[in-house]
Amino acid sequence: MKPLYDERLRRLRASTSAKKLDAFLVTDLKNIRYLTGFTGSNAYAVVSFDRAFFLTDPRYASQSADEVKGFRIRIFKKAVDEVVRAAQAVKAGVIGFESSSMSFDTHARLAKAFKGKARLKATAGLLKTLRSVKDPFEIEKITEAARLLDRGFTRAMKVAVAGAVEMDAAFSIESFWRRRGAEGLAFDTIIASGSRGALPHGKASEKKIKKGELIVVDMGVLLNGYNSDGTRTFVTGKPTAKQKEVYQVVREAQSAAIESIRPGVMASAVDRAARSVIGKAGYGKYFGHGTGHGVGLDIHEAPGLSPMSEDVLEEGMVVTVEPGIYIPGWGGVRIEDMVLVTKNGAKLLTSTTRDLVSL
């Protein structure tokens, strides 16, 4: 595993050097896990061109010794003091920091401690950009999480049926995952039946599922630190002509988006491929969110597949493709899969049927 972490550290150093930083302070715990392997709840990392320090409190002395790869471990009583000592050890003049994860209070205390010694420079999204391209280890872990997600959909087809309460069905699926090694949920399970399907984030409620309704099931599982995310829309009983029509439009939109995926393609172009199909079918005003997003250590990562995205797809990225149609008072349809960007196009990581299944 050490060569894997060495390569991640090398890439970070190349990026910090390009930004003319003497050192980089990592405070986002997901980024710390990515760089070091540490899974605890309190840590910092200071990385320069030739040294890397991992800083944590006494609770994690043994855990960090077992988990952390390629970093000098220092146990602190006061985090700010140890960050300053690590920065001084590498003679850092300009220190980049993660502006999206550092609190105002921590920044103020660090700025005071560094006054006259070093300068803090806000650096947004540097590690998240690096993390957007997955290495083989990450692809393996994400694929395992996607497989467990698929098993959850098989469970959903048994429990999200007419007469069941949405929350009860969600609990059954979540328990199923836990018994098979899941660390937890990627996000609160969405089970939205009938008119509630028009809510893109309609978390499972106390509503009882009725016969003849569409049911949007959007869920994800956290396994070995990595997330999965997928959506299927089912129907209880025989679908109506309109239900079949809307479902088919969404399926064709998703297929068009998946077919457009390849290295070098703008993420916005993938969104446009899905949006065009839905718009031409007359449902454009009912599709109000982006077509997808990256997935990994976080459930929402770069790149973003949206109309305004400036991201460019690269081989090794893992993204969701999830167009939907949401009609107030009627219901909704969303189909979502996880795909890996390969040199030849998109490879589906989720395998649950995309046909409209009647429960």
- Quick one: how far is CA 303 from the chain centroid? 10
Residue 201: predicted pLDDT: 94
Over the chain, what is the mean pLDDT?
97
Residues 39 and 176 in one domain: no
Q: Which of 91, 112, 131 is the last residue of a domain?
A: 131
Q: How far apart are CA 88 and CA 85, in angstroms?
A: 5
Q: How far is CA 3 from CA 7, 9, 140, 201, 316, in A?
A: 6, 10, 16, 40, 18
Give pLDDT tens digits for 103-154.
999 999 999 999 888 999 999 889 999 999 999 999 999 999 999 999 999 9
Residue 69: predicted pLDDT: 86
DSSP 137: H
Residue 174: predicted pLDDT: 98
Q: What angle do CA 319, 228, 15 make, to 5 degrees?
A: 50
332, 337, 291: which is closest to 318 by C-alpha?
A: 337
pLDDT (mean) for 347-355: 98
Q: How many domains does the chain have?
A: 2
Place of tokens 């803090």: 120
Residue 72: predicted pLDDT: 97
Residues 75 and 193 in one domain: no
Residues 172 and 98 in one domain: no
Residue 3: CB atoms within 10 Å: 9
Give pLDDT tens digits for 49-63.
999 999 999 999 999
Q: How far apart are CA 8 and CA 57, in angstroms?
A: 24
pLDDT (mean) for 203-226: 98
Residue 3: predicted pLDDT: 87
Place of tokens 């605890």: 40
Residue 116: predicted pLDDT: 85
Q: Which of 131, 155, 183 is the last residue of a domain?
A: 131
* Residue 183 is assigned to a structural domain of this protein: yes
Return the structure tokens found at 337. 């899969």
What is the side-by-side order of every strand in the sheet holding 230-235? 190-193, 214-219, 230-235
What is the side-by-side order of every strand in the sheet holding 337-342? 301-305, 292-294, 318-321, 337-342, 345-348
Looking up residue 68, the CATH number of its domain turns out to be 3.40.350.10
Residues 239 and 342 in one domain: yes
Give pLDDT tens digits for 167-201.
999 999 999 999 999 999 999 999 999 999 999 99
Q: How far apart are CA 311 and CA 218, in angstroms?
A: 25
* Residue 303 preceded by cis peptide, ω within 30: yes
Q: First CA to last CA across the chain, in angstroms?
A: 45
Half-sphere exposure of 196 (CA within 13 A, CB side): 20
Confidence band, pLDDT 50/70/90 cuts, at residue 2 = confident
Residue 310: predicted pLDDT: 96
* Residue 356 is assigned to a structural domain of this protein: no
Residues 204 and 148 in one domain: yes
138, 340, 355, 143: which is closest to 258 by C-alpha?
A: 340
Residues 125 and 150 in one domain: no
Q: How far apart are CA 310 and CA 104, in angstroms?
A: 29
* C-beta separation of 93 from 68 below 8 A: no
Confidence band, pLDDT 50/70/90 cuts, at residue 217 = very high
Q: Which of 131, 163, 189 is the last residue of a domain?
A: 131
Place of tokens 């060495």: 6
Q: Residue 291's domain spans which residues?
A: 136-348
Residues 112 and 167 in one domain: no
Number of H helices, E strands in the chain: 10, 19
Q: How far apart are CA 49 and CA 11, in angstroms?
A: 11
77, 75, 12, 76: which is closest to 47 by C-alpha?
A: 12
* C-beta separation of 257 from 348 below 8 A: no
* C-beta separation of 299 from 227 below 8 A: yes
What is the side-by-side order of every strand in the sheet holding 221-223? 184-185, 221-223, 226-227
Looking up residue 344, the CATH number of its domain turns out to be 3.90.230.10
Residue 1: predicted pLDDT: 75
Q: Dihedrals φ, ψ of 309, to 5°?
A: -65, 140
* Residue 229 is assigned to a structural domain of this protein: yes
* Residue 358 is assigned to a structural domain of this protein: no
Residues 115 and 147 in one domain: no
Residues 250 and 302 in one domain: yes
- Quick one: how far is CA 337 from the chain centroid? 13
Q: How far apart are CA 82 and CA 106, in angstroms?
A: 13
- 41 by DSSP, 3-state: which? coil
Q: Identify the H or E element spanning 304.
A: strand 301-305
Q: What percent of the chain has pLDDT over 70?
A: 100
